[in-house]
Chains A and B, each alone.
Chain A
Amino acid sequence: MANKAALLPVAWRIFKRDWRRKDLLILLFSMVVAMASISVIYLVIDRIESATEREVADVLGADVVILSPREIDSKWLQIADDLNLVKATSVEFASVLFANEKLQLSTIKAVSDGYPLRGRLEISDEPYQETRNLNTNPPQGTLWLEPRLFSVLELEKGNLVEVGYTDLQVDGAIMLQPGQGSTLFNIAPTAIINIDDLEATKIIQPGSRVNFRYLFTGESEALSEFIEQVKPQLASSQRVLTIFDESPVAGSAITRSKKYIGLSSLLTLILLGVAIAMSAGRYARRQFDMSALMRCFGLSNKQVLTIFSYILVFVCVFGILFGGLVGIVFQEFLITFLSQWITAELPKADYSVLLIPTAATAVLLMGFSIPSLVQVKNVPPMRVLRRQLEPMSVGTLSIYLLSAATLVLIMWVQMQDFKLLASVLLGLVFVAIIFACIARFMLWLLKRGAITRSAAVNFSLRQLDANKGITLLHLLAFSITIFVIALMILVRTELLGKWQQSLGENIPNHFMVNVKPNEVTEIKSFFNANQLEVVELYPMIRGRIVGINGEDVKTAVPAEGQSHNSLRRELNITWSTELPEGNDMVSGEWGWPENPSEPLISIEEETAIALGLDVGDSIDFTIGSESWSAKIASVRSIDWQTFTPNFYIIANPGALEQFSATYISSFRMEKSDKDLLAQLVKKYPSITVIELDRIFEEVQSIIAKVSAAVELIMTFVVAAGLALLWAAMEHTFDNKYKQSAILRTLGATKPFIARSFRFEYLWLALLSSSMAVVAVELITYLLYRFIFEIEFEFHFQLWALLPASTLLLMLIASWNGVRRVTSPSPMSLIRPS
């Protein structure tokens, strides 16, 4: 008996032959796309994602922050040490700074060595002058101050400032600090001191109101474990902050891009799986004679299986080598050509991660081609004498189970997202069933249309109906492929558009807070005089929720709402007659009755849900030292991604007249106009200007990165779709080959046959693209609504574009194929060899 090694050269010879005959081309192409796409996910996209997350972490100053009103349990710090996390601490409290016989209430941050762990501080000698980047705390005995403190306290670099019981020397102005985006509404300007000077200030005494920020960085797995261990032990006043809490725009861009990449990878794998199954099936059918012959040569079916398994291994090895190479070339391309904006800060490529794509690609090939392989093994040897003998087909259920198991295995390795997998698979099955029903009906309808004056048209219509099973299979393959490609291109375009829109040309990039009521008119004039557009100046009062419907908040709010952010801090309250931009009514109506009998408010939706509030409930606030109650007249949703002032609570005008408010606004200022900032702060020393343009630059860079990741993965979705289209197209040609020869023996001319075949592709293109359009509209609606959470609109351009481009694509793809299948002489029927 020939041992397995003796079969290897035979397998190699058949593999070489099939390579030459291009029988394995689609299978190999699918493998290359599979390997390349998974490699790119591991080599590039993962790195872009981690670089992006690191960049967002720069904004936060750390990967994870624990906020606490008191020192945290030392055991938690021990856990961090055990997990090799790097730590830093920032102790924050309010205190009055004295200098030049002036005083100002400030937020003091006493920071330890290593602060900030991520990102940087930008410090300049004088406000709005040239900055230097630092990632360290101020030297002992010195402090850094926000620009406003320079003007209020009339300071220069080198002056002394009294902080509690000690004097510290001014070392510079804080122009950018981590967490700046989230500290917009800190009315008190910030001073940063060295934590070693804290004791000397003697400010913190038992009972002092202090916020501790514990900063941590480290490996992502260690961080996850740290959060997992600490989170259950948090008191209601303590919170864990991650990057997603800190920068909603970048956070949501990353979250959506991750969802998109997850969805794209999954669809790529499914398309490739089907393409592999289809091309392996086609390959197997073309090997039936070979298999029968091998059995006549004396090989057992196990040995035949061994030979074809070897061939599959060769395909696998070549696919992995070429695909890996494509992945590496992609990564090199990015490094070389896009390093300016993408890869400058990417972690180094680790080629050992290619082991995972290698395994995943191999599993994908085996999982989707084993049913075909089994068929080759089962070819009855009598086929050499009777060609019509076919192998028993493998149980359909077992094929589906094997394929599904393969996908589950790969998804588990790649993203561990079974929910996404289950919903996409079920969605596709649902779409396939609907498609099949519509297609059957359309075929029935088309057959009735076969009464035109063109014999080729009539013939093509009858052919579609005559081979109903095959036509349905092709229609399903084409329509699902077109559907997936169109869907992913569309979602990508709208995601990118949405991100660009969120960073649009004219959106405000500066916030201005702490404007006194008597300065409002003057400041408007200042902006008008300098041709700067300022968003409405909103009055702002800060109040704390203490009761609901007259009951103490501690008992009135359900347990799950007790830890909500709105109860832990003072909320921003304003009054307005106009509904601010980015606000939408959820319940109740916007607007105020004239002279209401009691104060009315509109509350933000998520706060209302968390606290179990609805229209008609009343809320008790403490504002300063006074109490104030108001009745909820409406509930609003807020788009937090608009860079304009947003308020949890909006009251009717006049409801808060007994309280003194400061005003807040946002405006857009280009870099070239920055001199005006110094003038503004000098003229109105009490106001604080927060430069969001620095944060915008960060966010823009982040979005550029996630966009690149999204573009990259989409390339592979399209490639996978083309692989499947190609496989389906070849499948159609196989059937047409014999049909063409028969028609020629019956006297049909080559042009007639070619024309009728092309008409068939025309009907297939129109039918499949129409079904795809309907499915795209339906699925995008569901995706936008429930996954990406963006607004849905009909895509009317698709209704013309998709059928036209599908038709063009199919005509181009079938052109050569139709020529190929119409060229053989009818003799091929008589003499198959």
Chain B
Amino acid sequence: MLTAIKLGKRVKTGESELTILDDVSFQLSKGKSLAIIGESGSGKTTLLGLLAGLDSPSSGEVQLNGQSIFSLSEEQRAESRKENLGFVFQSFQLIEGLTALENVMMPLELKGDRKAKQKATEMLTKVGLGERLNHYANQLSGGEQQRVAIARAFVTEPALLLADEPTGNLDTATGKKIIELMFSLNQELNTTLVLVTHDIHLAELCDESITLSGGKVIESSVQMEQGAVANG
């Protein structure tokens, strides 16, 4: 279960303070999907960074499976990401110079998994790239690169998958296929999915959604359990 409790992020700009995110709370059950919608500059990416523990909040906290991630040390947080999180990015973020297979093997190898190659091959086959294992990133189309990124994100069977505009760099048809793939893996592996998007149609595919504007939640389908807020 993923819980955000009164999350806030403020940065100092000279004399004044700029609020990027203000008092965001929600709770998402395991296996569910959540879309974070909003205009540019509404605080979507900041919220995603906080949920992943990549950035520290000015206030509030994030709990993953009941564990407050900001009470952990930097190293413990990194360890938690390794065990629990997967990422899919708008710009794919494949490692240049490595093949599709090597890219997918990377997070497994970092975990010391001895079956990295086998698991990566299976996952790439599952996303339809069984024939392109040894192709480099620049030899793949945008859609294929995003498939590799999805395979890399799911191969460790993370509890939580965070996706930042996963179809932002793709045409509509390819984007649709990617989303289908992501949701099918989400269901198959019972992964909790948080998705940042501009696309209202994509948001509608998710179980839940919240809409941000100026760093504040202006619309939300997710309910916050009273107990969780009180504890926060």
Contact = CB atoms under 8 A, between A and B. Distances in A.
Contacts of B137: 833
A296 interface: yes
B225 interface: no
A382 interface: yes
A183 interface: no
A531 B72 CA distance: 99
Main secondary structure on A side of the interface with B: helix
Contact of A289 (B75, B87, B93): B93
B96 A299 contact: no
B48 interface: yes
Interface string A60-97: 00000000000000000000000000000000000000
B154 interface: no
B206 interface: no
A384 B93 contact: yes
A428 interface: no
A833 B74 contact: no
B142 to A, nearest CB: 7
A152 interface: no
Interface in A280-304: 289-290, 293-303
Contacts of A20: 97
B91 A17 contact: no
A504 interface: no
B214 interface: no
A832 interface: yes
B54 interface: yes
Contacts of A290: 95
Given A297-B110, A299-B82, A385 B94 contact: no
B219 interface: no
A381 B54 contact: yes
Contacts of A301: 74, 78
Contacts of A387: 91
Interface string B72-91: 00110011111101010101
Interface string A463-492: 000000000000000000000000000000
B136 to A, nearest CB: 10
Contacts of A10: 106, 109-110
B76 to A, nearest CB: 9
B98 A298 contact: no
B130 interface: no
B31 interface: no
A20 B97 CA distance: 8
Given A21-B96, A384-B87, A831-B142, A294 B164 contact: no
Nearest to B73: A300
Given A296-B81, A298-B80, A298-B82, A2 B54 contact: no
A297 B96 contact: no
B10 interface: no
Interface string B40-79: 0000010011001011000000000000000000110011
Contacts, number: 102
Interface residues of B, number: 38
B49 A297 contact: no
B89 A384 contact: yes
B169 A384 contact: no
A2 B97 contact: no
Nearest to B112: A6
Contact of A297 (B45, B102, B107, B138): B107
B166 to A, nearest CB: 13
B93 to A, nearest CB: 6
A382 B55 contact: yes
A300 B142 contact: no
A6 B110 contact: yes
A386 interface: yes
A538 to B, nearest CB: 78
Given A6-B110, A6-B112, A301-B74, A833 B92 contact: yes
Contacts of A386: 45
A298 B54 contact: no
Contacts of B87: 296, 384
B145 interface: yes
Contacts of B79: 1, 298, 300
B176 interface: no
A13 B102 contact: yes
B54 A296 contact: yes
B126 interface: no
A153 interface: no
Contacts of B110: 2, 6-7, 10, 294, 297-299
Interface string B12-28: 00000000000000000
A18 interface: yes
Nearest to B44: A385
Name, among A9, A21, A302, A381, the residue most crowded by chain B CB atoms within 10 Å (CB to CB).
A381
B112 A293 contact: no
A1 B73 CA distance: 14
B225 to A, nearest CB: 28
A18 B137 CA distance: 15
Nearest to A297: B107
A298 B81 contact: yes
B74 to A, nearest CB: 6
A386 B55 CA distance: 12
Name, among B55, B78, B79, B145, the residue most crowded by chain A CB atoms within 10 Å (CB to CB).
B78
Contact of A298 (B85, B89, B92, B96): B85
A17 B98 contact: yes
A3 interface: yes
Contacts of A832: 91
B177 interface: no
A22 to B, nearest CB: 10
A356 to B, nearest CB: 36
Nearest to B98: A17
Contacts of A297: 81-82, 106-107, 110
A307 to B, nearest CB: 9
Interface of B: 45, 48-49, 52, 54-55, 74-75, 78-83, 85, 87, 89, 91-98, 102, 106-107, 109-112, 137-138, 142, 145, 164, 169
Give 8 nearest A-B pairs by CB, closest first.
Answer: A298-B82, A6-B112, A17-B97, A298-B81, A300-B78, A381-B54, A300-B75, A297-B107
18 contacts: A1-B79, A1-B82, A2-B82, A13-B106, A18-B97, A295-B54, A297-B82, A298-B82, A298-B85, A298-B107, A300-B74, A301-B74, A381-B52, A384-B54, A385-B54, A385-B89, A831-B169, A833-B145
Given A10-B109, A297-B107, A298-B111, 5 more contacts: A10-B106, A17-B102, A297-B82, A384-B93, A386-B45
